[in-house]
Amino acid sequence: MNVDEIDTIAVLGAGNMGHGIAEVAALAGYEVRLRDINEELVENGYDQLEWSVGKLEEKDQLTEEEADAALDRVTPLVDLEETVSGTDVIIEVVPEKMEIKQDVYGEVEQYAPEDALFATNTSSLSITDLAEVTERPERFCGMHFFNPPVRMQLVEVISGEHTSDETLDTVEALAEEFGKSPVRVRKDSPGFIVNRVLVPLMNEAAWLVEEDVATMDEVDSTTTFELGLPMGSFELADQVGIDVGFHVLEYMHETLGDAYEPCPLLEAKVEAEELGKKTGKGFYDYEDGNGADIPTDAGSEEIEARLLAVMANEVAKLVGNDVAPVDDIDEAVMLGAGFPEGPAKLADSAGLDSLYETLVDLHDETGAARYEPADALEAHADEGFYGSDDEEGVEFESIRIEHPGDMVGTIVIDRPHRMNTINPQILDELDTAIDVLEDDDDVRAVLLVGAGDDAFSAGADVQSMAANADPLDGIELSRKGKETFGKLEECSMPVVAGIDGHCLGGGMELAMCADLRVASERSSFGQPELDLGLLPGWGGTQRLQHIVGEGRAKEIILTADRYDAAEIADYGFLTEVVENGELEERAHELTAELAGGPPIAQEFTKRAMLRGWEDTEAGLEIESQAFGHLLNTDDLMEGVTAFMGDSDPEFEGK
């Protein structure tokens, strides 16, 4: 079966994950049968699904017609035979207990079509063990969504021992049809990728407190403000549910050994039924207290080293056991856990050799199995997880350069897990990328895009910047952004911004530096800084008024409103608006057209226009000087000859 043959999907389990997955499938256009064991449960699940679709409509992410159509595609059911008969894919989302899931598959097998695919939404249980209770282990795989499925981008597609490549390919394609980013887990291993990294990290945080190495405040301060993770380790445990992490650890301990022994602190919380936010109290108090109130300055290098070392060891085990390659691990953890960088890149940045030595010392000191370095960690220690992934000797982590042909050089902002938000590292890498493309004789025009289809760039990475806010640092950051964006604006080659999705704040300021801007219909624009108590700090207060006029610029900045592509095009900000799905092709086509133009004339034209913004007389003088220079170029003769002969010129920049 391939993805084009899939029409009907059964979702078994109408709880939070189940009705969320059903919603995602319905929004993608599939007929969905949502089933639970009694009317009350399935109707409650449908009600929650209906509420969620309604919220999307309220936020203008769906039209009324789209919302109604999605709801019409979902049928709530209790009868199992009616649910699975005639379906193409069956996604099971029942409680995370091996015996419960195995019992469900024993029943489902009686009624499911012979060629239907089975997918289990499990966070850690063995795909192989579940598949072997069915008569179709080759058509059985894991399809692990993250909570809430409507918002979370990642889907881990997990191979069991018997799963066919065709099944994996089809389920990955289905996840993409759902609008998700699938990452393949190549071998059935407890915790798969994300939980295999996160759960031992939470366990180590608990051990640090249990053994009086650190306080909870110190651990969460380090996790949040030193490592830059979205939340503290204990805060995350509360958010997910301490019992959830604890049960995953129990399973890992049982199947993988003593390195995954649960910390007694976690067990005590579970026994006391203090499970986190869902019970009102966990490591933090959410009923009588203020919840997670993490100090910004309580972190330590020792805690950071231990947490990173444990995390790096898990990455090494996954790589060494062929569960997933290192770049897939980083992508999965960024998408599924919101890490600003993947765990492998974090480890490499800290120095993998140093983290390896940290583990060796801890293992010698304590004898604890969780500190025993993996063989693969030792093998990677000297050179890091990543080899050189560079462009002409320059290494990039948060952007990439592509050469799609037609003398186009593409700069991709590559942080889709963070909506391609811009941080100081991206500014440094963008600065370097401009130099690389300027020096490339095979590139005549630059296309600037964002990775993924959610955002060109949703702005500055305010969360990471605010963590260590200081007025003097803020001034330097503003200057740094202005210099980098100014360098792009002054690039000798034409620059096109291909905008798909959100283009907000600093992302919109970046787009202002392009010569032409083309956007998809679904794109949204705005300068929301004033809503945050800020102002556009990377040149937006000046550049925007040159593009749309002073009045429109003041409206956009002072109201902090959002604008759709058609509205902002009417203001003069966009060169063109194209249908969703056509942006990539059109943006490249437009950039290629510019790349075929006369490079010397283009450079002088840009220089004259840019200087004229600052001083009209100066701009006019540059224009005159350039005009005289161009009269003596080979490109002029090529252009005149081609014009007279009614042919296309082939400019060489001479």
User: Active-site residues: which are they?
Assistant: 144
Write out the two tokens for 510: 């970046």
Per the document, the length of the chain is 654
C-beta neighbour count of 63 within 10 angstroms? 11
Provide the 8-state DSSP code for 193: T
Provide the 8-state DSSP code for 279: G
Give φ, ψ of 576 to 5 degrees.
Answer: -160, 150
Torsion of CA 421, 424, 430, 432, to 10 degrees: -160
Provide the 8-state DSSP code for 276: B
Burial class of residue 78, CB neighbours in 10 A (0-12, 13-18, 19+): middle
- Rounded CA separation 639/434 (Å): 28
- Rounded CA separation 446/449 (Å): 10
Strand order in the sheet with 495-499: 399-405, 408-413, 445-450, 495-499, 516-520, 576-578
- Rounded CA separation 214/205 (Å): 9
C-beta neighbour count of 366 within 10 angstroms? 12
CB 241, CB 278: distance < 8 Å: yes
- Rounded CA separation 311/211 (Å): 19
How are beta strands 516-520 and 576-578 bridged, if at all?
Answer: parallel
For residue 331, what is the enclosing H or E element?
helix 326-337
Closest CA to 319 of 308, 330, 307: 330
Write down the H helix ranges in 419-515. 424-438, 462-467, 471-489, 506-512
Closest CA to 12 of 89, 99, 125: 89
Helix and strand element counts for the chain (H, E): 28, 20
CB 389, CB 361: distance < 8 Å: no
- Rounded CA separation 73/69 (Å): 6
CA atoms within 13 A on the CB side of 611: 15
Write out the two tokens for 240: 């997910």
What is the residue type of 233?
S
Closest CA to 228 of 461, 466, 464: 464
Q: Under 8 Å CB-to-CB from 609, ≥6 apart: which residues? A: 619
Write out the two tokens for 423: 């941080």
- Cα distances from 105 to residues 75, 92, 140, 528, in angstroms, run 21, 9, 11, 50
For residue 626, what is the enclosing H or E element?
helix 616-630
Q: Under 8 Å CB-to-CB from 252, ≥6 apart: which residues? A: 124, 190, 191, 196, 199, 200, 260
Which residue is listed with tokens 């489902």?
108
Provide the 8-state DSSP code for 280: T
Burial class of residue 363, CB neighbours in 10 A (0-12, 13-18, 19+): middle
Write down the H helix ranges in 560-615. 565-570, 583-595, 599-614
